Each structure stands twice: as structure tokens, then as C-alpha cells.
């Protein structure tokens, strides 16, 4: 009885944690760069892709510079590209920390050898660090979408749904026949506790389109909490993370924020009613609309606390984090570099949150975030961004609810050669929400 | 089994560093200064030094903080000019990874940087200061001398992006200085 059970357990273990394929992962990173470069050069006839040995020599001689690409290119497209490198490693059985050099070296080789333009330091930062955060988020989200036990059309639809977020993982699975093969799911498939909330409705934003009046537009919001800081004990990086995506009918893709735990520990006895846990997170921020553009890659450290209220699963939660911005970007119209309209620089800040939840799903949330960015490339400036708000979600049954959000985005930019720039952007959202949650205490 | 192994084998199997560790070193450096839109770079030699201190994550991974500085008293932004004093420094969180149980390691880190360029002017000196982002990567070898002490060789690059440098008669936009350093350090563990 014991031997067959042990054999099954070993098979499951082998299937869910494949042996690392280092050479295959390195080859796929090189293939990504070669493929993207050649497609741009041969199919899209892009001048920047016409790189060669003479260009490589120039790049090695001249070294880094800052580029002038559009905000979305630098702050979203490059991190997404970095996620491809990272997930080339993850799809080949390489662990989180071991996959980090793949994102870093994939980006470095692309900057020096993949483009005609000089290597861009901001691209390297965004591709490497954004790629690590987004890459692991996509890796885990797609692991929950894919189901190795499913069959038929449903199975194919799951594999197709995962494709845009993790194309490299999907291609690896396709080549290995894993789109159809049945087997055990990887540990990332089941996050334990989770909350998925999708909302659609209206967004009212003063000053978003013009400097006066309130603009009204459609909005769609997706909140995902994978794992829970209290019920998911730290075992591996990103076993707990949160993502918020917002799409708007005016401006399209307007925000994406992701924060994942790379280290965590209990600060008090887990058996105690009130819990306090320390977390170190990597954070990705992308916030863009017609009024403001802010984003960056950060590392934050802080404490999450939870105090249960009564015996029906309600609790009061707090979070307090301080962060260092490895490289941030903020719009600074007319003061950027060349055609660029935003500054790059490092910084730091803090964020806090008070919330009331039931089984991990928040009903009321009050939060604030303060960030400082010192411009290194662009204007000679210091930027302070203050973002705060209150959000309430009232359940109306069967997972549906009505959500009302009110936020204020405030910024002060102090330029050495221009007057101080101070702006306020209040915003309100009214959404019909649907929440699906699983809570495993 | 371990008790019967020869002493040299036991020494090779133990971690290179454990617990808290610190390292101090210095060596020659080569600095390359580039800027946005520049078609050429300025290259000069400068002495450099570093200090790093940290802890042990595992027997192959160390994490710490590194402070690196470079000082060139005969620097110039154009050929033949040696009137500028260039000081650059980085403070970075670094990770040292030993791929095997031998002394070879890779190093990488990110953090902050500062740069100061000083030139003699008509009324004293003119100084341009800048702060920004710092980045370092490289490799090295720990030669264990005793259980608590090692001599460490390093080859590393330190990238410092410190913003615009504004000096009398010239403005250099978005300066990025890359320092290549060969050094010897003393490690205490």
C-alpha cells in the first residue's frame, strides 16, 4: 500500500515541479530577442531593428543613455517584454530567484545588440525589474487559469485565455503536448485564499479631459488578491500578491498596479487572534490617462495587521509600507528629453490602508500613498505625488455588489528653472461588481 | 563520514562566508562618461574604493549594502583638459552569488548614486552636484586565508546616472558615468 502511494506522490511531485532546463531557458531568451529583432527588421521594416556588428561595437564603446520612447512603451511594453524572458525561465522549471538573471541578461543583450539605438538605461530597468514582477504575476495567474485535469473544449479555452499573459509558457506547453495531456497541476494553480472582483460602470473625473467640469466615461476594474497575507504562510516569492487593472472608455488601458511578496514572516504567534506579519514586496505601477502619467518599479517593506470582529469572518485590516523607487517616471510636459514628455528618476515613499473585510474580501477601504521622485533624466525637478481615496463595496447577493470609489490624485512638481506646478485630479467611480472569493484560514 | 574526510575537503565544503560579514577594498578604476546625444565619450583613469557589509541568505547567496567611490583630481570633459575634480559614488543593495562551493562569485546590485564635478573658476571654484540611480555588476574570487578572513579579488562595473552637469560655459545633459574597477579587498566573516 505504501509503495504505490509513494510512487503516486513522486509522480505528482515530478510533474508539478519539473527539472530545471537551463540550456533550454537560455536558448529561448536568445530566441525571443532574435525573433523580435528579425520580425521588426524583415516584416515591419523598422529602421531601429537594423542592428549589426558595427552597431554593437558602437554600443559597447558609447554605453548607456536615456531614451525618448512613449510612456506606455517604456512603462508597460518593456516590462511585458521582460516578463517574456522571466517566463522563459519559469516555463522551464527554474525558480523565482534563479529566473531573475534571465530577465536582467535578456534585457541587457537586447539593449546592446537588439536595436540600432544606443542602449537605454531606463529600458533596462523597466524590462528587468518590471519583467520580474509582471512575469511572476502572469506566471501564477496563468497557472490558475490552466487546468491539467480539464479536458475538451474547456481545456483549450483555458490554454487560449492564458496565452496573452504568458505566451512563452503557452508555447512551451504546446510544443510539449501539455495543452491536451492530463496530469497534476503545479502548486501555483491553487492559491489557497483568493479574491477576484470585477467591476463595470461609470467613472467621473474632473479635469481629465479639460481643466474644468467633470468628464464621464465607462470604466472596467479588475481586482485580484492571490493568497492572503495572513492565511498564506510565506513559502515562496509571490505566493501572495495583489493586482489592480483599470480600463477606461476614454484612454483605454489606464492603470495597472501589482505588488507581490518576495519575503514574509510572522511578527507574533500565528495562533493569536490578532495577527501582524512583515512583508517585503516588489511593486509595479502604471497609471496613465490624459491628465497624468506616473509609474515605476519599487521595493517596499511593511506590516500587515488583522483584527477579527465577531465570529462571522469579519475583520479590521491595516497596512503600512515604506518603499524605495528603483526608477520611476512622471509626466512633466515640455520639460522632458527631446520628444519625451516625462521625467525619470529614483525616489521613495509610503502607503497605508485601513479596511474592513469578510473572509479576505474588502467592503470598505481607506488608503493613501505618498511618493517622491527626483528627476535624473528630463527636467531638473523634484516631484511629489499624493494619491488617496475611499472605496466601498455593498453586496446585493449572489456575488454581485455595488461599489462606490472616490479618489484624489494630487501632485506638486518643483522645477529649478520653472514655476511650481501643482495639480489636483479628483475622481469618482460607480460600479456594478461581481466577487468570487475563497478563504482558507 | 564528514569526520573522516581530510581537512582540505572539509574546508572546501564549508560556506565562504557565514553570518555577518564585511569587506573593504580598493583598486584602479577606469571611468567612461557618456551623455544623452553625445557622439563620443570621455574616458579617464581614477582610483576607487569600496566597502560592503551584509548577511548570509544561504551558503551560496549573500546580501548586503555596498558603498563605492571614485575620485579623479585630473579629470576633464574634453581632450587635454585636466582641470576638473570628478567624484562619483554609489550606495547599492548587492547580492553575491557563489555558483559552487569554491570562491568564485557573481555580484549585482541597484541603488542610488551621486556625482560632484568641481572646476577652478574666476572666483574660487564652481561645483556641479547631482544625485540619481546606481547600478553595479561584476564577479570576483574569495581566497580563504583563515576561517574568519579572506582576500577577495573583484572586477566590477558601477553605473551612475546623476543627471545634468552644469559648469561654467558648458552643460552636459543626463550624464551617465560607468566605472570599471579591478580591486583587491579584505573580507572579514
pLDDT tens-digit map of B75-127: 766 666 677 778 889 999 999 999 888 889 999 999 999 988 877 766 677 77
Whether A284 is covered by a domain: the verdict is: yes
Nearest alpha carbon to residue A291 among A189, A147, A387? A387
| Total domains in the fold of chain A | 2
Convert the pLDDT of each residue in A136-178 to its tens digit: 999 999 999 999 999 999 999 999 999 999 999 999 999 999 9
Sort out which chain A residues have CB atoms less than 8 A from B163's CB and list them: 375-377, 380
* Shared domain check, A268 and A167: no
**pLDDT at residue A210, rounded to an integer:** 52
B38–A121 C-beta distance less than 8 A:
no
Unique residue bearing C-alpha cell 535624473: A376
B26-159 in CATH: which number?
A: 2.40.160.20
Whether A185 is covered by a domain: the verdict is: no
Quick check: A441 and A417 in contact, CB under 8 A? no
* Shared domain check, A366 and A220: yes
Rounded to an integer, what distance in angstroms lies between the CA atom of residue B37 and that of residue B56?
Answer: 42
Whether A97 is covered by a domain: the verdict is: yes
Please compute, for residue A75, the number of CA atoms within 13 A of its CA located in the half-sphere on the CB side: 29
C-alpha torsion angle, residues B116, B28, B160, A99 (rounded to 10):
-160
Quick check: A243 and A137 in contact, CB under 8 A? yes
SS3 labels along A262-330:
EEEEECCCCCCCCEEEEEEEEEEEEEECCCCEEEEEEEEEEEEEEEEECCCCEEEEEEEEEEEEEEEEE
**Residue A189 per-residue DSSP state:** G
C-alpha torsion angle, residues A206, A200, A399, A353 (rounded to 10):
-40
Q: What percent of chain A has pLDDT over 70?
A: 93
Domain ranges of chain B: 26-159
A65–B174 C-beta distance less than 8 A:
yes
Rounded to an integer, what distance in angstroms lies between the CA atom of residue A132 and that of residue A283?
Answer: 10
Q: Is A147 on the interface with B (CB under 8 A)?
A: no
Whether A182 is covered by a domain: the verdict is: no
Least confident of A74-88, A270-284, B121-135: B121-135
Query: 105-144 in B: which are within 8 Å (CB) of A?
Result: 108, 110, 112, 130-133, 135
Of A64, A337, A376, the CB nearest to B162: A376
Rounded to an integer, what distance in angstroms lies between the CA atom of residue B106 and that of residue B10?
Answer: 23
SS3 labels along A203-233:
EEEECCCCCCCEEEEEEEEEEEEECCCCCCC
* Shared domain check, A379 and A309: yes
B110–A66 C-beta distance less than 8 A:
no
Quick check: A106 and A51 in contact, CB under 8 A? no
Sort out which chain B residues have CB atoms less than 8 A from A65's CB and list them: 34-38, 174, 176
Of B36, B131, B135, the CB nearest to A374: B131
Q: If you count residue pairs, one on A and one on B, with CB atoms under 8 Å apart, how many are there?
A: 65
Candidates B31, B63, B128, B133: best to mutate against A (most CBs of A within 10 A) is B133
Residue A92: domain span:
7-175
Least confident of A100-104, A337-341, A405-409, B146-150: A337-341
* Shared domain check, A332 and A378: yes
Check residues A211 and A165 and name the one with the higher pLDDT. A165
Last residue of one domain, picked from the residues A140, A175, A210:
A175
Q: Rounded to a whole number, what is the distance in Å from the CA of A327 to chain B's nearest CA?
A: 8
Q: Is A61 on the interface with B (CB under 8 A)?
A: yes
Strand, coil or helix: A88: helix
Indicate if ipTM > 0.90: no
* Shared domain check, A265 and A132: no
Instruction: Locate the chain A residue with the closest alpha carbon to B133.
Output: A346
User: Can you give the CATH number for the domain in which A249 is found?
Assistant: 2.40.160
Strand, coil or helix: A142: helix
Sort out which chain A residues have CB atoms less than 8 A from B133's CB and list them: 121, 125, 326-327, 345-346, 376
Cα–Cα distances in angstroms (integers) from residue A340 to residues A251, B162, B166, in the given order:
19, 19, 21
* Shared domain check, A84 and A132: yes
**pLDDT at residue A74, rounded to an integer:** 94
**Residue A114 per-residue DSSP state:** T
B133–A125 C-beta distance less than 8 A:
yes
* Shared domain check, A102 and A242: no
**Residue A18 per-residue DSSP state:** P
**pLDDT at residue A72, rounded to an integer:** 93
Convert the pLDDT of each residue in B41-80 to its tens digit: 878 888 899 999 999 988 889 999 999 998 877 676 666 6
Average pLDDT, chain A: 90
The whole model's pTM is what? 0.89
* Shared domain check, A199 and A167: no
* Shared domain check, A32 and A73: yes
Rounded to an integer, what distance in angstroms lies between the CA atom of residue A371 and that of residue A255?
Answer: 17
* Shared domain check, A203 and A143: no
Whether A265 is covered by a domain: the verdict is: yes
pLDDT band at B131 (very low <50, low <70, confident <90, very high): confident
A66–B174 C-beta distance less than 8 A:
yes
B174–A376 C-beta distance less than 8 A:
yes
* Shared domain check, A96 and A64: yes
Q: Is A386 on the interface with B (CB under 8 A)?
A: no
pLDDT band at A207 (very low <50, low <70, confident <90, very high): low
Q: Rounded to a whole number, what is the distance in Å from the CA of B39 to chain A's nearest CA?
A: 8
Beta strands in B98-148 (DSSP E): 104-121, 124-144
Sort out which chain B residues have CB atoms less than 8 A from A69's CB and list them: none
* Shared domain check, A414 and A298: yes
Amino acid at each position: 500500500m505504501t509503495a504505490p502511494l509513494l510512487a503516486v506522490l513522486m509522480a505528482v511531485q515530478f510533474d508539478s515541479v519539473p527539472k530545471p532546463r537551463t540550456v533550454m531557458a537560455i536558448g529561448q531568451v536568445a530566441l525571443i530577442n532574435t525573433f523580435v529583432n528579425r520580425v521588426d527588421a524583415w516584416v515591419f521594416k523598422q529602421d531601429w531593428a537594423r542592428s549589426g556588428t558595427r552597431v554593437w561595437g558602437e554600443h559597447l564603446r558609447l554605453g548607456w543613455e536615456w531614451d525618448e520612447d512613449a510612456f506606455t512603451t517604456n512603462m508597460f511594453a518593456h516590462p511585458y517584454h521582460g516578463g517574456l524572458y522571466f517566463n522563459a525561465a519559469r516555463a522551464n522549471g527554474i525558480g523565482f530567484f534563479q529566473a531573475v538573471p534571465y530577465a536582467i541578461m535578456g534585457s541587457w543583450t537586447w539593449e546592446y545588440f537588439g536595436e540600432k539605438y544606443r542602449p537605454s538605461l531606463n529600458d533596462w530597468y523597466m524590462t528587468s525589474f518590471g519583467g520580474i514582477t509582471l512575469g511572476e504575476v502572469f506566471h501564477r495567474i496563468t497557472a490558475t487559469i490552466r487546468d491539467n485535469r480539464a479536458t475538451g473544449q474547456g481545456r483549450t479555452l483555458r490554454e487560449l485565455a492564458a496565452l496573452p499573459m504568458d505566451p512563452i509558457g503557452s508555447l512551451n506547453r504546446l510544443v510539449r503536448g501539455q495543452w491536451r495531456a492530463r496530469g497534476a497541476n503545479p502548486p501555483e494553480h491553487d492559491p489557497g485564499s483568493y479574491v477576484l472582483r470585477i467591476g463595470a460602470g461609470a467613472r467621473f473625473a474632473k479635469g481629465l479631459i479639460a481643466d474644468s467640469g467633470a468628464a464621464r466615461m465607462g470604466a472596467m476594474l479588475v481586482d485580484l488578491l492571490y493568497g492572503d497575507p495572513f492565511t498564506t504562510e510565506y513559502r515562496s516569492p509571490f505566493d501572495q500578491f495583489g493586482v489592480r487593472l483599470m480600463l477606461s472608455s476614454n484612454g483605454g488601458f489606464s492603470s495597472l498596479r501589482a505588488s507581490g511578496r518576495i519575503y514574509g514572516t510572522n511578527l507574533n504567534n500565528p495562533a493569536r487572534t490578532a495577527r501582524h506579519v512583515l512583508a517585503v514586496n516588489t511593486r509595479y505601477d502604471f497609471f496613465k490617462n490624459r491628465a497624468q502619467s506616473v509609474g515605476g518599479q519599487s521595493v517596499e517593506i511593511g506590516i500587515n495587521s488583522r483584527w477579527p470582529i465577531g465570529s462571522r469572518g469579519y475583520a479590521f485590516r491595516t497596512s503600512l509600507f515604506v518603499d524605495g523607487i528603483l526608477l520611476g517616471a512622471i509626466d512633466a510636459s515640455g520639460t522632458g528629453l527631446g520628444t519625451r514628455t516625462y521625467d525619470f528618476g529614483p525616489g521613495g515613499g509610503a502607503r497605508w490602508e485601513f479596511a474592513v473585510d469578510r473572509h479576505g474580501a474588502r467592503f470598505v477601504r481607506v488608503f493613501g500613498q505618498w511618493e517622491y521622485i527626483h528627476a535624473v533624466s528630463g527636467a531638473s525637478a523634484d516631484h511629489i505625488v499624493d494619491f488617496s481615496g475611499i472605496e466601498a463595496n455593498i453586496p446585493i447577493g449572489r456575488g454581485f455588489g455595488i461599489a462606490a470609489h472616490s479618489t484624489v490624485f494630487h501632485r506638486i512638481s518643483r522645477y529649478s528653472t520653472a514655476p511650481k506646478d501643482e495639480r489636483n485630479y479628483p475622481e469618482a467611480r460607480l460600479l456594478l461588481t461581481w466577487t468570487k472569493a475563497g478563504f482558507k484560514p | 563520514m564528514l569526520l573522516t574526510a581530510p581537512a582540505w575537503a572539509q574546508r572546501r565544503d564549508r560556506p565562504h562566508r557565514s553570518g555577518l560579514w564585511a569587506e573593504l577594498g580598493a583598486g584602479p578604476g577606469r571611468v567612461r562618461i557618456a551623455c544623452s546625444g553625445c557622439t563620443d565619450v570621455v574616458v579617464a583613469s581614477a582610483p576607487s574604493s569600496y566597502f560592503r557589509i551584509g548577511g548570509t541568505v544561504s551558503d551560496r547567496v549573500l546580501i548586503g549594502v555596498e558603498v563605492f567611490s571614485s575620485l579623479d583630481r585630473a579629470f576633464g570633459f574634453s581632450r587635454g583638459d585636466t582641470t576638473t575634480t570628478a567624484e562619483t559614488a554609489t550606495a547599492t543593495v548587492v547580492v553575491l552569488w557563489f555558483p559552487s562551493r569554491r570562491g568564485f562569485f557573481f555580484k549585482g546590485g541597484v541603488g542610488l548614486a551621486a556625482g560632484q564635478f568641481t572646476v577652478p573658476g574666476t572666483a574660487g571654484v564652481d561645483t556641479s552636484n547631482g544625485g540619481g540611480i546606481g547600478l553595479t555588476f561584476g564577479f570576483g574570487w574569495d581566497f580563504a586565508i583563515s576561517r574568519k578572513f579572506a582576500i577577495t579579488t573583484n572586477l566590477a562595473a558601477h553605473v551612475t546616472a546623476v543627471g545634468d552637469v552644469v559648469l561654467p560655459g558648458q552643460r552636459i545633459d543626463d550624464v551617465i558615468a560607468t566605472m570599471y574597477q579591478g580591486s583587491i579587498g579584505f573580507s572579514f566573516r
